[in-house]
A = this chain, B = another copy of it.
Amino acid sequence: MNESILHSEIFEQPAALRRAIGDSVKAVRELVAAAKARDVRYVVLAARGTSDNAATYAKYLLQITCGIPVALAAPSVHTMYDAEVDYSGALVVGVSQSGAGEDVNEVVARAKKRGAVTAAITNTPDSPLAGIAEHVLHCQAGVERAVAATKTYTTTLALFAAIAAEWSGSRELLTGLETIDTKTVVALNCEERVAALARTLLHAERVLTVARGLHLCTAIEASLKIAETTYTTTQAFSSADLLHGPIASVAVRTPCLLFVPNGRTAAMMDDVGAKLADRGARVLRLAPDAVGPDTLPLTDPGTEYLSPIVDIIPAQLLAYHLTVARGLDPDNPRGLSKVTVTR
């Protein structure tokens, strides 16, 4: 059962992270130097799907560690409305594993014309996106064949973390990045516990994922992974937004994956977990100190800033094992193709 492409690619992540971080040092340094030399005031990230979830990580990380405002682009502003947005003073980063998405490429091309510093994070260094951007960071993940992206997601996070480390000079980030690949090896050890939990979710029609702050990306990406492989209805929430309305619709016994990594969000997450439990939801707690049923262990990478790189791993494995437990094909979800080109 473990011969699927998806499963292999999940386990290729430690090696891919090592390559992504090791081989990008020079390109990251040049990108940050150019951004500072050209007086960049804010950052715009253009991405779709899983890459957009990685951009959500960067939105928090760059603001927190570098103090620079970050916007997620709305590509249709250009592709559908032909808007001329003035990106002077911006660093615009296109994020796409294939580098083939016309809408993302359009944002980067227009920004370049308007004087922005431009960069690409891609797993395809000879892609159109890489040809447009001035600076190219390569995920070095090797070809990703499963439709559900895993190793391109975590390597993209690592490249954003490398940018943040270089930009801010944060020791915490620099030191953490040196060992992040070995931490993902530890995280992969939870597979048996994940498989056991997956079997208890066989008949779940709806799954919620909840996180906060820097870890929101983990909830969103976990939600997408489970939805696209298992066809479960999933919804991702910031714990703050959940309390602003949607909690009303959480039915009794709904499984809620709660991400509680060490750091600033932990106390609040447990508070939200208690509120969900009060409503009769089934709270599945992912935390470094997780013991007992309905929990999964998270690996502490030594700094909260890098937690999302390891925390998504149990969720990737959960998507995989739930898919297999349901007798579905983890490598070829119905109606999806690897490269989705949207305009």
Known contacts A80-B264, A89-B89: does B71 contact A333 (CB below 8 Å)? no
- Among B69, B89, B249, point to the contact of A234 (Cβ < 8 A): B249
Q: Does A247 contact B (CB under 8 A)?
A: yes
CA distance A88 to B62 in the complex (A): 16
Taken together, the copies of this chain in the complex come to: 2
Q: Which of A207-261 contact B (CB under 8 A)?
A: 212-214, 224, 227-235, 238, 240-241, 243-249, 251
Q: Does A291 contact B (CB under 8 A)?
A: no
Whether B69 and A248, one on each chain, are in contact in the complex, defined by CB atoms closer than 8 angstroms, is no
Q: Does A342 contact B (CB under 8 A)?
A: yes
Contact with B along A144-165 (1 / 0, CB 8 A): 0000100000000000000000
Q: Does A64 contact B (CB under 8 A)?
A: yes
Stretch at the interface among A41-49, A122-130, A307-315: A41-49
Known contacts A77-B63, A83-B64, A245-B227: does B279 contact A335 (CB below 8 Å)? yes
Size of interface on A: residues with Cβ below 8 Å to B: 70
Q: Does A169 contact B (CB under 8 A)?
A: no
CA distance A84 to B68 in the complex (A): 8
Whether B265 and A246, one on each chain, are in contact in the complex, defined by CB atoms closer than 8 angstroms, is no
Q: Does A59 contact B (CB under 8 A)?
A: yes
Q: Does A200 contact B (CB under 8 A)?
A: no
Nearest CB of B to A218, in Å: 14
Q: Does A28 contact B (CB under 8 A)?
A: no
- With both beta carbons as reference points, the residue of chain B lying nearest to A279 in the complex is identified as B335
Nearest CB of B to A264, in Å: 5
- With both beta carbons as reference points, the residue of chain B lying nearest to A76 in the complex is identified as B213
